[in-house]
Amino acid sequence: MRIPKRLMVAAAITAIAARRKFTAPYELTGKSVLITGGSRGLGLALAAEFLKRGSAVTLMARDPAELERAATQLGAGGRVQTVAGDVTRQEDLRRALAEATRVHGGLDVLVNNAGLIQSGPLANMTEADFRDIMEVNAFAPLILTRLAVPELRRRGGRVLLVSSVGGKVAVPHLAPYSVSKFALTGIGQALRAELAGDGIGVTTVCPTVMRTGSPRQAQVKGQHQKEYALFATVDNLPLISLDARVAARRMVDALVRGDAEAPIGGSAFVLKYAQALAPQLTADLLALGTRFLPAPIPGDDAIPGSEAETPLTLHNPIKSGAEREFNELDGKSESKSD
């Protein structure tokens, strides 16, 4: 007997509602949280959100000066500590875990947030670009989570994986990034199933573009200024992008609820379900949209977004405000943008 689709949808909605009603939310007060990529952008916004909910945070990032500025900005006294390290170096990951445990008495929540982004046509991307971004965006979270399992098991902890809408729908001119985020979304699903028996909850969030001030950190290929102008502008459009503080709050809410996977932002929700319900139409629309993007050029040289600024991007007040708020500027860059 065939079950009507509407009945199946209603049953699924009822099951989700019942699960949320009878599942106790995860309490964050007094918990120890380790955040990779925690010195700026979304990582800094997530740190502020966890502190607001009574947690202690350990921030891991590569740049000691950025970490120092982030800790000063967050305040919160002894509830913030920093560890300088590279997520692609296993010894640095072990040291970050050890420091979080030593200073805050253990580890309850692991937030895998550190990531790379490369913008440009597929024709300008190399195999090395795909391998480099996979190391940071997919393998590092997998390795760090596995290293953290004994402590998370002991404390009944949680893992938050920051994927992307690009990990559900491949975004043109972000091919390596989308590949890495698809991998991370799959890692999240596998970890969720495998670690449930250890009492460890895993939540994967797939946000839309966010106003974090991070485009200037992206590696840009192809027609550098055109690519960057498009990327930085879309990233800061209020109707498309999401305020980083709002995004951080929704991500932490998803962790607290124990969601398996959560789209963050309206456009992420729409794209996720468009891909699921109408994959052919979605693919055709993305292919059509690609025709209007900057064409590839000979060569595969990459420059950081900060070196591809134009008057259009440099004097965008929304972008500049996010860069200041989320520690994306050093002293030299800040004086240049004023």
Could you tell me how far CA 188 lies from the centroid of its own chain?
Answer: 13
Could you tell me how far CA 171 lies from the centroid of its own chain?
Answer: 15
Task: Give the H/E segment covering residue 74.
Answer: helix 64-74
Helix (H, G, I), strand (E, B) or coil at 324: helix
CB-CB contact of 40 with 248 (8 Å): no
* Amino acid making up residue 238: P
Which residue has 């949680």 as its token pair? 158
CB-CB contact of 126 with 228 (8 Å): no
* Amino acid making up residue 50: F
Task: Copy the structure tokens of residue 93.
Answer: 């990951």
Q: How far apart are CA 260 and CA 283, in angstroms?
A: 26
Distances in Å between the Cα of 144 and the Cα atoms of 44, 55, 72, 162, 267 are: 19, 20, 26, 14, 30
| Residues comprising the chain, all counted | 338
Catalytic residue among 26, 177, 228, 273: 177
Q: How far apart are CA 236 and CA 261, in angstroms?
A: 25
User: Catalytic annotation on 228?
Assistant: no
Which letter does DSSP use for residue 87 in this model? T
Distances in Å between the Cα of 132 and the Cα atoms of 4, 18, 48, 61, 208 are: 46, 42, 29, 17, 23
Distances in Å between the Cα of 178 and the Cα atoms of 52, 167, 300, 306 are: 32, 5, 19, 22
Q: Which residues are catalytic?
A: 177
